[in-house]
Structure 1
Amino acid sequence: MILVFVEASDDGTSEVSLETVTFARTLAERIGGPVHAVIVGALPEKVVDELGGYGVAAVHHATGAAFDAFGGAVWATAVQAAAGDADAILAPGTPRGMEVAAHLAARLDVPMAANVTGVVSADGGTLRVVRQVLGGGVLEEMDLPQRPAVLTVAGHAVEARQGEPVAATLQEFSPEVAESDLVARVVSMEPVQELDQAGALTSARVVVGAGRGAGSSNGFGEVSELAELLGGALGVSRVVTSLGWRPHHEQIGQTGSRISPDVYIPCGISGAIQHWAGCASSKTILAINTDENAPMMTKATYAVIGDMHDVVPAINAEIRRRRG
């Protein structure tokens, strides 16, 4: 059995969790066994059926007051209780997924592979995976010889795809919790508008990016207009937020948001490894830069050599012309 720690809300299962379930199905083809999910805390009604559509055979739901608020240690207790004799335990590469997996691996005394992007082999009882290191700039192979194998799946490493639909069963349980597991936990949450905007960036199908080439805090009007014309979102590089030109929730990269749009248009962004870590999963990249040898230009699907302040207004004008 392969167990997936799933994050869900009233809107349903998170996209990164569905990606992780998709990854788990691929792994199951290698090592055999069904795919199960474990959810801690609130369970939205539609999630069980949704996961069934992704090939999840059973959903384990940890209930009890101790699980109402997030805590890495206490949620790891629930995942461990649901794992049984699982061959592998997967979690999405989110802050919560990473923390839960780390606690779990420590308790089971097994290694943890973070930010996994693929499976190399599963021969002789040893699972060999590929994972991102150094902000996604390097891929390394890692062996997980013990069982269960514990790993987190890098965001957008795979595309979430439905599987053979099954009637997922719901299995509720209430594991015992040690007082020591409750020392660090969330006690309250406050909504922040910036978090909603960051979510819009990560879910946008078109993203227009801007970097140092914008020139100043006043240099984003054209790229903002392009993003609006394309029905997309605006993102920026780290240097832009460091200079105070734009807010941090717009940052793309290792210390910002990871995006996976259908189209990414980075303007005046050199493409340093930290930024590439956040946009490498983009399906099509159209880069605009004056430096034809910039890393972003060499990695892009298409590249336009020119000043973003000349090229972007011309694109905007053509879009408006064609729309009448």
Structure 2
Amino acid sequence: MPGVYVVLEHDQGQFAPSSGEALTAARRLGAQLNEPVIATLIGPPLPAFVELCELYGIPLGLNLLDPQITDYGPELWGQAVAELAVLREARVVMTTGTDRGNEVLAQASARAQVPFVANCTIAEFNGSWNLTRMQWGGSLLEDVTLTAPSLFISYAHHAIEAEPVSADTSTQLESIEFNLDPMLCRSLVQDRVTLTEGTTLSTAAVVISGGRGVGSAEGFEPLEQLASLLSGKVGCSRAVTNNGWRSHADQVGQTGTRIAPEIYIACGISGAIQHWVGAMASKNILAINTDPEANMVTKAGYAVIADLHEVVPAVIAEIERRRGSNPSS
């Protein structure tokens, strides 16, 4: 059945936070093309699949099965998507433009010989495809016109806000069993890291990041305290991880985590393009920096030109005063 097939990312039984964005984008594109939208799960069934589809108003769910697909593997996933696109004559196959999403569709595109446009912010069809995609880490938007019967698309992460639907939806499930080439299975899992429960850097409503200006690993203690008061998470720039002050898991940026919090507080961060790419989807940005010409200061909606080592403790003290808490507790 032709239609818009949206591939959902998942790991260790949990769907990626970007799944809502992907389903929202697919729902809008399906309405524009007057094509059915089919949510696609690769690998063993997950109990939350139907619930997720119904939350975002997707009436059709498809499970791609193969005995070899137990964990994520770009070659296997890519081959499964390629065979799906050919078998169903898919009009569009799409996902979110995360590292994994782009990796899978690149594999599938090469195997199915279908054009792939990555990191789109706009995708429209008026006799031909009119797309806008991010280049140079998001510092440049490129308009693309493409004529093709089928297309693979990834939407830039955080380019679309997830929008659940209010109407009741009943999702019907079906499955396809493949017999993929065993030579495609090239992954060897030697260790498995348990996913962090609760709020993560990519899902936090408040993120407080420190850069080289923090000065040391110990300098992050006030940022941790402020994040705790605001129920947020602490991030950092690449300079911090290069200095060994924090782990790469905390890095915000093009080669780290891309975030979209309600509030982003950048402390002592110059704002190099690699960092800005990861933070630019933030709804509100406050920069604290002694340099009024720093890139982060000029891009932020709000700025405090002062020493973060004076500003952050003062903010903590004021929050505690207003809450009537003991500053030492």
Whether these two folds match at TM > 0.5 is yes
- Is 1:295 the counterpart of 2:295 in the alignment? yes
Contact 2:213/2:269, CA 8 A, preserved across alignment: yes
Displacement of 1:257: 0.6
Determine whether 1:113 maps to 2:120.
Answer: no
1:26 maps onto 2:40 in alignment: no
Instruction: Give the one of 110, 113, 126 matched to 1:123.
Output: 126
CA distance in 1, matches of 2:31, 2:59: 15
Of the three residues 171, 178, 183, the one matched with 2:181 is 178
User: Does the 8 Å contact 1:10/1:44 carry over to 2?
Assistant: no
Q: 1:168 aligns with which of 157, 171, 179?
A: 171
- Which residue of the partner structure matches residue 229 of structure 1? 229
2:309 match: 309
Q: Contact between 2:66 and 2:180, CA under 8 Å: does it hold in 1?
A: no
Output one character per residue of 1:219-250: Cα deviation in whole Å (capped at 9) or x when no partner.
Answer: 21221211111111100011111111221111
What SS does the aligned partner of 1:89 have?
Answer: strand
2:254/2:274 contact within 8 Å kept? yes
* CA distance in structure 1 between the aligned counterparts of 2:173 and 2:255, rounded to whole angstroms: 37
Q: 1:192 offset after TM fit, Å? A: 3.1
CA distance in structure 2 between the aligned counterparts of 1:78 and 1:137, rounded to whole angstroms: 33
Quote the offset at 1:30 in angstroms: 2.4
Check the 8 A contact 2:65/2:177 in 1, yes or no. yes
Residue 161 of structure 1: SS of its match in structure 2? coil
| Cα contact 1:197–1:249 (8 A) shared by 2 | no
The answer to whether the Cα contact below 8 Å between 2:82 and 2:109 also exists between their aligned partners in 1 is: no
Q: Please show how residues 269-288 of structure 1 align to structure 2 within 5 Å.
A: 269-288=269-288
Q: 1:50 to 1:190 in 2, by over 3 A?
A: same
Query: Does 2:199 correspond to 1:190?
Result: no
CA contact (8 A) 1:69 1:187 kept: no
Distance 2:54 2:10 in 1: 14
Distance 1:198 1:95 in 2: 22
Partner amino acid, structure 1, of 2:221: G
Q: Is the 8 A contact 2:117 2:153 kept in 1?
A: yes
Q: What is the root-mean-square deviation of aligned Cα atoms in Å?
A: 2.0
Extract unaligned runs of 5+ from structure 1.
Answer: none
TM-score norm. by structure 2 comes to 0.90
Q: How far is 1:100 from its partner?
A: 1.4
Q: Distance in 1 between matches of 2:113 and 2:254?
A: 29
**What is the TM-score with the length of structure 1 in the denominator?**
0.92
Residue 256 and residue 198 in structure 1: after superposition, are their counterparts in 2 closer, same or farther (change >3 A)?
farther
1:317 shift after superposition? 0.4
**Partner of 2:61 in structure 1?**
59
SS at match of 2:18: helix
- Opposite residue 52 of structure 1, the aligned amino acid is E
Contact 2:11 2:72 in 1 (8 A): no
> Would you say the 8 A contact 1:55–1:165 is kept in 2?
yes
Structure 2 residues not aligned, in runs of 5+: 325-329
**Helix, strand or coil: the match of 2:260?**
coil
- Percent identity of paired positions between Structure 1 and Structure 2: 40
- Aligned counterpart, 1:158: 160
Residues 24, 140 of structure 1: alpha-carbon distance in 2 compared, 3 angstrom cutoff: same
TM-aligned CA deviation for residue 9 of structure 1: 5.0
CA distance in 1, matches of 2:30, 2:242: 43
Q: Do the aligned partners of residues 47 and 285 (structure 1) sit closer, same or farther apart at CA in structure 2, a change above 3 Å counting?
A: same
CA contact (8 A) 1:127 1:149 kept: no
How far the C-alpha of 1:146 sits from its partner, in A, is 1.4
Q: Which residue of 2 aligns with 1:265?
A: 265
